[in-house]
Structure 1
Amino acid sequence: MTQKLMMLLTVGVVVFLSACQQPLVKKVATKHEASKYFNDPVITHKVDSVLSMMTLDEKIGQLTLYSSGWDKTGPSMNENYINDIKAGRCGNIFNAFSPDYNRKLQKIAMEQTRMKIPLLFGYDVIHGQKTIFPIPLGEAASWDLKSIQKTASAAAAEAAAAGIQWTYAPMCDIARDPRWGRVSEGAGEDPYLGSKIAAARVHGFQGTDLASDTTVVACVKHFAAYGAPEAGRDYNTVDMSERKLRDVYLPPYKAAVDAGAGTVMTSFNDLNGVPATASHFLMTDILRKEWGFNGFVVTDYTAINELVPHGIAKDDKDAAALAMNAGVDMDMQGGTYSKYLKELLKEGRVTQEEIDNAVRRVLRIKFRLGLFADPYKYFSNKREKKLTYSKYHMALARQMARESMVLLKNDKETLPLKKGQRIALIGPLADSQRDLLGSWHAAGDWKINKTVKEAMVEQFGKSNIRYAKGCDLRGDNRSGFASAVAVARRSDVVVMVLGESAEWSGEAASRAHINLPHIQSELLEAIHKTGKPVVVVLMSGRPLALDKEVPMTDAMLEAWFPGTEGAPALADVLSGKYNPSGKLPMTFPRITGQIPIYYSAKNTGRPYTKTGKEQKYRSRYLFTPNTPEFAFGHGLSYTTFSYSAPKLSTVRLQMGDTLHVSATITNTGNYDGTEVAQLYIRDMVGSVTRPVKELKGFRRIFLKKGESKTVTFDLTMNDLSFYRKDMTWGTEPGDFKVFVGGASDNVKEAAFTLVK
């Protein structure tokens, strides 16, 4: 090719891309609109036009994602990756979150590459960028969809200003084994609650205008069933029926896709013998053909390479072919597409159509984000400075942390703490800054956090707080016990902040036993023996097994890892400035041996019911109750609530109609408070066995002291549907029970019949 021809081609590309700068459609996809929005004809035309001018190497570059690293001076990058960007062999970067540095990389793509296609920058913005909100499991405990959407929106705004356009969230994995460390990143055990939260987070990240400089594109992860690894061990194998997959694990992913999520990430696990990254069944049959998803699919970190140790590919080249054939568009960090796609195409093991379709999907997202219109709009030091730790974001963080906290126990109205009480503050987490943020806290700076000790002094006065650490999180050093006991004896009430290190949950952080470390439990026992009222505040990234500790406490509050403003929020709750309203999104077992334990279990042919008589040949343990320590949906308040029996609009519901369920809730205590009313159903007889309870609705309602309100739920045919014996989705006529109450194990019931 002559130099003159090359110059003409370059000019042509620049002229064409300039023509693509006109504003794009900005309406965000809502349920069932995602496919229509992705297939916008204007964007499709632009994508196809760009694609038609790309070389094969440039196309493969758009399917390649590499990580930026960090050294002592800040962000840095492997020189080979820089050269790949210049050559058009790398079109996407992750783990770079500096406006200045990202601008430099974008400048390379826009000034030194032939096609001048903007880079896409991704990062793990899981529960905040710099202003850190409670871990997702904690946010789920709020059951407040509006607040969850707001925190995702705030996180997106901060991330976008830092040069990030793509977040690897929400995690939509249902998890029923709290040994698995990544339960901290999800919404718990229930597909209905998980689906609502998944959609809320997608809408929060992506907003009403994906081309805005305050929104980022969401990535639904980890597809699929990553939350069900054998033995609760991260990355482990998953084996389940298709019925269980569709009933329990797929709904939150689908809800996120229906909400318009632009990207999906493959999971590390195999599913019924096929690793997700090589699963045509997941990536093409379900995701694209059934659900109509037309965004792009990215692997998790080196997941294509890991097909080799999985034993399904003989080498990386074989793995790349399997992933591309399955419908995986982008290779995160593994370099397999970059190295082998050209060869594989020549050999006929992948097709040009597969490669072109993958590139189309990537380019479509870049157009939707407005990157072609302004490649530099996401890099703004001024906007980052304005948004980071802003008054609004910090207030939102404090409110979300308050809402996430769950009052598990409160005997004799130990909480809220009384004015003027002498408070002993004890425990290894009482003066920790770092642990408040939890795992995956993006660019959050733990050094700006107030500790619980500092927040308590601020809330209650220095003269009323007596502090002693007592012990470390783990180990056998009991040298601090004596001073802790002495402090407790000189006080009116003891607040102990116990639990996990932030590093004990998250990725690669599974625990074989989820009890408190023995040193903390022994410290609690020593304090309990003083006879002082004991309040235990738990910080953790998962439900804990607390059968030994619960009897030694007068009150217990689950605070999770509550984020940047977590300590002041905790002080607000302990003082009564805020009345707790959180409800558990995941069951707390008594002991680890009960796992998996969840509220929506099936009845079995020999169900155990406590009758006072011996029931030997029943589904039970010999020396431990079947029941959990704290059930799904459980959460107390400083006030009390009573529920009337549910009233139904009819007891004979015609197929196709909607059932209206109402109940009156009264605040019968001495404080104003918020209650989360929960609606459950049970299908009494089905063509396949059905759960004993299924969540189908919830309402957060605020009631003043003595006030009553009636809440109404609408049960549709979709709520009554399931995958029947022949695996078709739909309803079956028959008898149902309806339950309304404040927790899955504290409900009142009514009954109706669904008739043809």
Structure 2
Amino acid sequence: MRYGILLLGLAFLGCARPDFRDSSLPSEQRAELLLQELTLEEKISLMMDVSKPVERLGIKPYNWWNEALHGVARAGLATVFPQSIGMAASFNDSLVYEVFTAVSDEARAKNVYYASKGSYERYQGLTMWTPNVNIYRDPRWGRGIETYGEDPYLTTCMGVNVVKGLQGVNDGKYDKLHACAKHFAVHSGPEWNRHSFDVEDLPLRDLYETYLPAFKALVQDADVKEVMCAYNRFEGEPCCGNKRLLTQILREEWGFDGIILSDCWAINDFFEEKGHRTHKDAPSAASAAVLSGTDLECGSTYESLIEAAKKGMIDEKAIDRSVKKLLKARFDLGEMDDPSKVSWTKIPFSVVASATHDSLALKMARESMTLLLNKQNVLPLKRGNLTVAVMGPNAKDSVMMWGNYNGVPAHTVTVLDGIRAALGKGDKLIYEQGCPCVGDDLLESVFSECKSEGRPGFSARYWNNVNHEGKVDVETRVMTPFNFCTSGATVFAPGVNLTDFSATYNATYVPKASGEVIFDVYSFGKGRLLVNQKEAMSFYNSHGGNKQSYALQVEAGKKYDIELQFEYLQGDAQLNFDMGFKKKVDIAQSVNAVRNADVVVFVGGISPSLEGEEMGVDLPGFKKGDRTSIELPEVQRNLLAALHRAGKKVILVNCSGSPVGLVPETETCEAILQAWYPGQQGGRAVADVLFGDYNPAGRLPVTFYRSIEQLPDFEDYNMTGRTYRFMKERPLFPFGYGLSYTTFTYGAATFSKQTVGSEDNLSLVVPVSNTGSRDGEEVVQVYLSKVGDEAGPVKTLRAFKRVSVPAGKTVNVHITLSKKDLEWWNEGTHSIQFCPGEYQVWIGGSSDEKALSKYAIQLK
């Protein structure tokens, strides 16, 4: 039978005892009633991300795992907004709320569609495992791109609005979605040892002042429904079995009564050889996790709870406590009820990748653009008989623009596309890639010349077995060079297994030119490449990824049938594939190719294929998704230097999710625009800034250091010397920094009072004048420091407001510092509270003291 609640007639329910099927009952009561109907085995089957059906009760399957980092992710078509770190650069938390309201609309609409087809797979549910509110303490961390930066206050503001946008307002009965704060807690790399690393000897002040504030706010101010515990250990105990974090702080201190879930397969790390080895086996690990407060496992180790319960390692009442929370959440979402009774199911599918959301993606991309350098006001560019050369590895890379944990947009505007569309009458464009992101091999891809069934791209067929057997489980199309990897639990395509799957990709290639085409395959798995039905190359890589290539002499106009087969082996599967004419980077030739350009726009930086979550990348400057060097890769530095020597005006558009040490580029480039990973409309947003159709106002949510010499040891979680809050040296570009095409000056701020009591708020009025010739936006930033607190932050952000100021006008910006905003660390009580003393309020346009005015206040 079809899964679904067995809706019983009112006659049956009339005088009978209460029934969990009765949607008029409170969800908590319904959860308790259903709990009483379940066997121990059934309860445990509901405690994993793949929640199994209970057919005898009409309980359908549910998959708890869905993603929405910057748009509905990993489930096909969706609007792709800028990467989280880029959204943080907007310093516009109200716009973040708008974005995630749109994301939640798309998530609900997609869920309704999947459910109507009887599909309950991963990335189709209503529980979104976002936001990531870990503090980006070190620019080498690959997953920093998922965060909202290095500052606890900014992270808090952004994270709260993500949660409120995703979860929406209860319609009177049902929740729209459930969000999840992750990864709790004290978790920010390195990626390579996250399954065994222990954060030891962390000062209590750093814990409460830096690593916990955003989580606390999401729990207490945003009512986040889920919290995900982290992979690493904290003070000797794995985070997903950590009594101090989960029981003492999260449950008892903060009063969190929602669901705690594990990061994926984190419970395995308790006992596996390459993990923490704090527990002897799966039953003891699973029991410890549940008893510490982890209700839901992403993974399958909780299956061993049956054995643990039978051996007396865990009482069934402890299991009941967790299962009841899970059932209540499903009732709260209306997931157990007739969809027609749930108002959120009325959101039409037409909202998915809609024109309205596309416009919102453009707005957010524009607001994220952060201008770092603009010598002699070379920007904005002036149209009219202008020859622009577009160069660099990221100029026409649409996949780079999507970031990670992403969906697939209906259309992506690359930077090359955006610049081409922005040119005026008489303007000319030259495109010359020049170099890849890393290394000196340049592949002139012919992937775009491949078609299947008369349409661009490769057809893709997937089987949820390793032998290509039986009915095809998923059919889709691959439009860009392959970049598949299951690291971070990313499936190759929606509906495809994470493990134990196989795939076949087909296309026809008709060369436009004769020559030697190179087929590059980087894989962790096995398979083969066929050309015209004959095997050209096979590969079998069971101990990590490996690259193989095949060379084929092709004739222009001749047809070549290409087939690539792949089978999962073990661990994290990976398949990268592209084909093209390969040549070595020739810097002199590339410089000569742009000799007639008036200006060179070099779109460089790095890529989500290089930085991210526990990746299989080991290249110069990169290790498992982290970075070992923060400078631009050498090949890009060399090409930029050669362009500079040739007398070219170079505009660097830097695409990255992390700070880049751009010291040489401040000499070789006339302007630097930090574009992040800007989403589906990023190319237009970049062009709008370059040509002055939009005045940039993005600000850095992270410090841009000069080099790793300014950084403490990556594995040291102590905040001493880290981020703008504790750094003594001068960075390249400070937190909160960003340029505009106009200029702003600040008048003297007025305060509602100079002496503030423990129950008072402090109101400020800051006059901001636009002294330039065009309208612009300024981000007013308010920092706080405590006089005499040598161990505390140099200064720390406590308020910000992005405001529009017309040219030649002055706007009075009203800001209120609440009682909470004025709290400080009390060394005597080891807590954050109202602490009497002398303080300084810093107001200006960045964290750099030269950009700030200082005011004294007294707390009594």
Whether the TM-score (by the shorter chain) exceeds 0.5 is yes
Residue equivalent to 2:667: 551
- Say which SS state the counterpart of residue 627 (structure 2) adopts: coil
Aligned pair 1:199/2:160, yes or no? yes
Is the Cα–Cα contact under 8 Å of residues 646 and 748 in structure 1 kept in the other structure? no
C-alpha separation in 1, matches of 2:600 and 2:182: 41
Q: CA, structure 1 residues 708+231, in 2 after alignment: closer, same or farther (shift >3 Å)?
A: farther
Secondary structure of 2:769's counterpart equals strand
- Which deviates more, 497-506 or 295-304? 497-506
Gaps of 5+ in 2: 1-7, 73-77, 112-124, 442-583, 615-624, 713-720
Which sections of structure 1, spanning at least 5 residues, go unmatched?
1-7, 25-41, 67-89, 92-108, 609-625
* DSSP 3-state at the match of 2:79: coil
Specify the alignment match of 2:315 in structure 1: 351
Contact 1:205/1:218 (CA < 8 Å) preserved in 2?
Answer: yes
The answer to whether structure 1 residue 744 and structure 2 residue 847 are counterparts is yes
SS at match of 1:697: strand
CA distance in 1, matches of 2:722, 2:808: 34
CA distance in 2, matches of 1:734, 1:362: 46
- Give runs of aligned pairs for residues 51-450 of structure 1, distance below 5 A: 51-66=35-50, 90-91=51-52, 109=53, 112-116=55-59, 119-129=62-72, 130-163=78-111, 164-209=125-170, 215-227=176-188, 229=190, 236-239=197-200, 240-258=202-220, 259-308=222-271, 309-333=275-299, 335-338=300-303, 340-374=304-338, 385-420=349-384, 421-441=386-406, 443-445=407-409, 448-450=411-413
Query: 3-state DSSP class of the match of 1:471?
Result: coil
Compared CA separation, residues 275 and 750, structure 1 to 2 (3 A): same
Match of 2:612 in 1: 506
Aligned twin of 1:620: none
Structure 1 residues 231 and 122, CA gap change in structure 2 (3 angstroms): closer
1:192-248 Cα shifts (integer Å, max 9, x gaps): 111111100001111112789993210111011112659997874323222211110
Q: Secondary structure at the match of 2:594?
A: helix
Instruction: Give, in whole Å, the separation in 2 of the partners of 1:382 and 1:659.
Output: 44
Deviation at 1:484, TM superposition (A): 2.9
Distance 1:448 1:715, change over 3 A: closer
Separation in 2 of the partners of 1:283 and 1:575? 51
The 1:359/1:185 distance shift into structure 2, 3 A limit, reads: same
State the Cα deviation string for residues 619-678 of structure 1 (Å, max 9, x = none).
Answer: xxxxxxx21111000011111111123333333334433322322111111211111100
| 1:454 maps to amino acid | D
Instruction: Please show how residues 19-38 of structure 1 align to structure 2 within 5 Å.
Output: 20-22=21-23
Q: Does 1:465 align with 2:429?
A: yes
Give the aligned partner of residue 482 of structure 1: 588
Superposed CA deviations along residues 35-60 of structure 1, whole A, max 9, x for unmatched, are xxxxxxx2222211111111111111
Q: Which moved more, 1:650-659 or 1:528-537?
A: 650-659
1:700 aligns with 2:700: no
User: Once the 2 structures are TM-superposed, how far is the Cα of residue 707 of structure 1 from its aligned partner?
Assistant: 0.9
**What is the CA distance between 1:402 and its match in structure 2?**
0.7
Deviation at 1:430, TM superposition (A): 0.8
1:755–1:263 Cα change, 3 Å: closer
1:497 aligns to 2:592 (yes or no): no
- Say if 2:369 and 2:697, in contact at 8 Å, map to a contact too: yes
Question: 1:299/1:376 Cα in 2 relative to 1: closer, same or farther (>3 Å)?
Answer: farther
Q: What displacement does 1:481 show?
A: 2.2
Structure 2 Cα separation of the partners of residues 750 and 649 of structure 1: 16
Q: CA deviation at 1:544?
A: 0.8
Show the counterpart of 2:773.
670
Alpha-carbon distance in 1 for matches of 2:680, 2:341: 28
What do the CA deviations read for 1:65-116 (whole angstroms, capped 9, x no partner)? 23xxxxxxxxxxxxxxxxxxxxxxx34xxxxxxxxxxxxxxxxx47x34352
**Contact 1:665/1:710 (8 A) holds in 2:** yes
Task: Kindly provide the amino acid, as one letter, of the partner of residue 134 in structure 2.
Answer: D
Structure 1 residues 278 and 144: alpha-carbon distance in aligned structure 2, compared to 1, 3 A threshold: same
Alpha-carbon distance between aligned partners in 2 of 1:665 and 1:234, rounded to the nearest angstrom: 49
Report the equivalent of 1:712.
Answer: 814
Name the residue aligned to 1:542. Answer: 658
* Contact 2:195-2:276 at 8 Å conserved across structures: no
Change in Cα spacing, 1:65 to 1:218, as seen in structure 2 (3 Å) is: same
SS in 2 for 1:64: coil
More displaced 10-residue stretch of structure 1: 199-208 or 501-510: 501-510
Counterpart amino acid of residue 230 in structure 2: S
Give the corresponding residue for 2:534.
none
CA 1:713–1:631 in 2, change beyond 3 Å: closer, same or farther? same
Code of the residue aligned with 1:138 in structure 2: it is G
Q: CA deviation at 1:21?
A: 4.7
Letter in 2 for 1:294: D
Rounded to whole Å, the distance in 1 between the matches of 2:361 and 2:749 is 36
CA contact (8 A) 2:777 2:804 kept: yes
The change in CA–CA distance for 1:476 and 1:60 in structure 2 (over 3 A counts) is same
1:571 counterpart = 2:677: no
After alignment, is 472-481 or 520-529 more displaced?
472-481
Structure with the largest fraction of strand: 2
The alpha carbon displacement at 1:357 in A equals: 0.7
Higher mean displacement: 112-121 or 668-677: 112-121
Kindly tell me: are residues 467 and 595 of structure 1, through their superposed partners in 2, closer, same or farther at Cα, counting changes over 3 Å? same
1:655 and 1:754 in contact (8 A); partners too: no
The aligned residue for residue 760 of structure 2 is 657
What value does the CA root-mean-square deviation take over the aligned residues? 2.7
Query: Would the alpha carbon gap of residues 520 and 232 (structure 1) be closer, same or farther in structure 2, given more than 3 Å must change?
Result: farther
The one-character-per-residue Cα deviations of 1:279-325 (angstroms, maximum 9, x if unpaired) are: 01111111111111111111111000111120211111221111111
| Separation (CA, whole Å) in 1 of partners of 2:62 and 2:741 | 52
- Aligned positions, number: 663
Q: Deviations over 1:97-153 (max 9, x none)?
A: xxxxxxxxxxxx47x343525624431221112110000000000011111111112
- Checking the alignment, whether the CA contact within 8 Å between 2:750 and 2:764 is kept in structure 1 is yes
Name the aligned partner's letter for residue 585 of structure 2. S
Secondary structure at the residue paired with 1:172?
A: coil
> In the aligned structure 2, how far is the partner of 1:232 from the partner of 1:562?
29
Q: Which residue of 2 aligns with 1:632?
A: 735
TM-score, normalised relative to structure 1: 0.83
User: SS of the counterpart of 2:145?
Assistant: helix
**Matched residue SS, 2:199:** coil
Give 3-state SS (helix, strand or coil) of 2:138's partner. Answer: coil
Please say if residues 528 and 552 of structure 1, whose CA atoms lie closer than 8 Å, have aligned partners that are also in contact.
yes
Instruction: Indicate the SS of the match to 1:503.
Output: coil
Who is 1:584 aligned against?
A: 700
* Distance in structure 2 (CA, Å) of the matches to 1:582 and 1:348: 57
Alpha-carbon offset, residue 382 of structure 1: 10
**Structure 1 runs, 4 residues or longer, greater than 6 Å off:** 11-19, 210-214, 230-235, 376-384
2:745 pairs with 1:642: yes
Asked if the contact 1:410/1:555 (under 8 Å) is kept, the reply is: yes
Q: Which amino acid in the other structure matches residue 702 of structure 1?
A: S
| Distance in 1 (alpha carbons) for counterparts of 2:160 and 2:132 | 11
Alignment partners' CA distance in 2, 1:696 and 1:235: 35
Contact 1:431/1:453 (<8 A) preserved: yes
The percentage of counterpart residues that share the same residue type is 35
Q: Which AA in structure 2 matches 1:150?
A: E
> Which residue matches 2:418?
455
Instruction: Report the Cα offset of residue 17 of structure 1.
Output: 8.9
